[in-house]
Chain A
C-alpha cells in the first residue's frame, strides 16, 4: 500500500513521512476547500438567491426576454469578478446595482436608441416636455385622477412604456418591494429623488392608463 491514511491527524502517511497539506480537505465536500471553490460557494450563497430579482429588473429595463437574459448573465459574471470587493451587507442591493449598471451600459451602446425611447408611438403623447409641463401643472393642483377598475388591466403595458427613470424606480418599489434607501443605493440617487420619481411615475402611469383605456 502506497498510502496510509491516518484518521487521527487526517493526513496521508507515505512511508515514514506524513503529507500534511491534506489532499483530503480538497476531497471532503463539507470540509475546507480551495480558495477557488470557497469563492464559488460564497458566490452561490450571495448572488444566486437573487436571480429572480436580477432577471425581473433586467427584464423591466431592457423589455425583452433575450436581452434580459444576456444582461443577467453578464451582470453575474461581473459580480463574480468583483465578489472580493463585496463585504456582505446586502447581496440583493449589490447584485441589482450591478444588473442595472450592466443594462445601462448596454443601452448606451445601442446607438440610435436613446435612453428615453421608453415611450413608443402609441404613448408618445406622454413623451417629451409637453407631458412634463402638464404634470408640473397638475403637481400644484391636487385635482386627482382616479384609477377606475376598467383601467387596471392596462397597468402592466403602461408601466412598460413609462420612461426608464420612472419605470425602474416603480419596479424596484412596487414589484421588488424595496425600501427608499435600497432603491437610492441601487439607482445611485438621493432619497428625495426616489420619492419624487415615485410621485412623478405614479402620476404618469395613471394618465397613461386612462389614455390607453380611452383609446381602446
Chain B
C-alpha cells in the first residue's frame, strides 16, 4: 500500500469502517510510514475536537408542539397535555358525546346485520366448546340419555338423534348461551371433526330453508323448522356437513 492509498483509506480506518483485510493493510502502512502516521493523528485530533467542541443543537422544547399542531390530524391531546385548557376539553368531550350518539343512532338505523352478529356468537361458542374441554355436559351417544337431560334446563325439547349408523355418532349435549338466551347444543362427530348443533325456539313459526355460510375456516348451516332455530357449525367440509343436516332434517320430518 502506498501513501496516497493509505491517505485515502485512513479515514475509513479512523472511523472503523474498513473491512478487516483493509484495516490490517492500513495499520501496517501506518506503522511503517511516519508521515502517514502523523496525518492519521492529525485527523484523529480533528475528529475528537469536533466531537468535543461542535455544538449539538437540540430542538427547542416548543418545536414538538408546533410540529404536532401543524399535522393534518388532531394529535394535540397527546402532544400538549398540560396546556390544553379546560374549556376546550369540555368542548371536545361534548363534541365526542354528540358524535357517539349520532354514530350509534345511525348504526342502529343502518342495522348491523343480525345474522352476522349471530354467526360470530355461534363461531365463538363452537371454538370455546373445543378449547375449554367443555364439549358436553352430558356425554353420551344414547339419544334417550341426552334428550331428557335438557328437561328443566331449557323451555323446549330439542330433537336428539343418534346417527352412529349414518357415520355421525352423537358425542353428547350441553347447555350454551347464545343471542342472550340459553340454547341446547348437541355435538356429533365425523372422524376427527366435531359438529356443534345449536337449537333454540324461533320467534316465528315459519320454516326457512337452510343457508350455508363459511367463516374463518368453519362451515355453518342454519335453518328454521317447526318453531326451532338450528345452527350447525364445524370444520368439516361443506358436503358432509350438508349430509348431516339433511339426515337430521329427514329424521325430524323436515
The answer to whether A195 and B8 touch across the interface, beta carbons within 8 angstroms, is: yes
CA A147 to CA B46, docked complex, whole Å: 7
The answer to whether A140 and B57 touch across the interface, beta carbons within 8 angstroms, is: no
Q: Which residues of B contact A12 (CB under 8 A)?
A: 104
Which residue in chain A gives the minimum CB-CB distance to B34? Answer: A142
A115 within 8 A of B: no
Q: Which of A169-211 contact B (CB under 8 A)?
A: 170-171, 173-175, 179-180, 195-196, 198-199, 202-203, 205-206
Which residue in chain A gives the minimum CB-CB distance to B78? Answer: A44
The answer to whether A174 and B51 touch across the interface, beta carbons within 8 angstroms, is: yes
Which residue in chain B gives the minimum CB-CB distance to A146? Answer: B42
CA A14 to CA B11, docked complex, whole Å: 72
Interface mask (B43-58 → A, CB under 8 Å = 1, otherwise 0): 1011101111111111
Residue of A56, A151, A199 touching B8 (CB-CB under 8 A): A199
Q: Which residues of B contact A132 (CB under 8 A)?
A: none
The answer to whether B58 and A17 touch across the interface, beta carbons within 8 angstroms, is: no
CA A146 to CA B254, docked complex, whole Å: 101
CA A199 to CA B12, docked complex, whole Å: 9
The answer to whether A205 and B50 touch across the interface, beta carbons within 8 angstroms, is: yes
Most chain B beta carbons < 10 A, residue from A18, A21, A140, A175: A18
A120 within 8 A of B: no
Residue of B15, B64, B107 touching A19 (CB-CB under 8 A): B107
B88 within 8 A of A: no
The answer to whether B108 and A17 touch across the interface, beta carbons within 8 angstroms, is: yes
Q: Which 8 interchain pairs have the tightest Cβ spacing?
A: A142-B35, A55-B59, A155-B53, A59-B57, A144-B38, A144-B39, A144-B42, A174-B50
Residue of B12, B41, B107 touching A144 (CB-CB under 8 A): B41
Q: Which of B1-23 contact A (CB under 8 A)?
A: 3-4, 6-12, 15, 17
A32 within 8 A of B: no
Residue of A40, A48, A146 touching B41 (CB-CB under 8 A): A146
The answer to whether B60 and A69 touch across the interface, beta carbons within 8 angstroms, is: yes
Which of B68-76, B188-196, B209-217 forms part of the interface with chain A? B68-76
Which of A70-78, A85-93, A104-112, A122-130 forms part of the interface with chain B? A70-78
The answer to whether B58 and A56 touch across the interface, beta carbons within 8 angstroms, is: yes
Number of interface residues of A (CB under 8 A): 62
The answer to whether B35 and A174 touch across the interface, beta carbons within 8 angstroms, is: no
B144 within 8 A of A: no
Instruction: Say how far A139's CB is from chain B's closest CB, in angstroms.
Output: 6
How many A-B contacts if CB must be within 8 Å?
165
Which residue in chain A gives the minimum CB-CB distance to B124? Answer: A9
Residue of B8, B51, B75 touching A175 (CB-CB under 8 A): B51
B33 within 8 A of A: yes
Residue of A3, A55, A199 touching B104 (CB-CB under 8 A): A3
Residue of A65, A76, A155, A203 touching B50 (CB-CB under 8 A): A155
Known: A147-B46, A179-B17, A202-B43. A196 touches B108 (CB 8 A): no
Known: A23-B104, A77-B71, A146-B42. A195 touches B11 (CB 8 A): yes
Known: A17-B112, A174-B50. A80 touches B55 (CB 8 A): no
The answer to whether A142 and B33 touch across the interface, beta carbons within 8 angstroms, is: yes
Instruction: Say how far A195's CB is from chain B's closest CB, in angstroms.
Output: 5
CA A95 to CA B36, docked complex, whole Å: 38
Instruction: Say how far A27's CB is from chain B's closest CB, in angstroms.
Output: 8
Known: A147-B45, A206-B42. A156 touches B7 (CB 8 A): no
The answer to whether B4 and A147 touch across the interface, beta carbons within 8 angstroms, is: no
B63 within 8 A of A: yes
Interface mask (A133-152 → B, CB under 8 Å = 1, otherwise 0): 00000011011111100011
Q: Which residues of B contact A27 (CB under 8 A)?
A: 96, 100
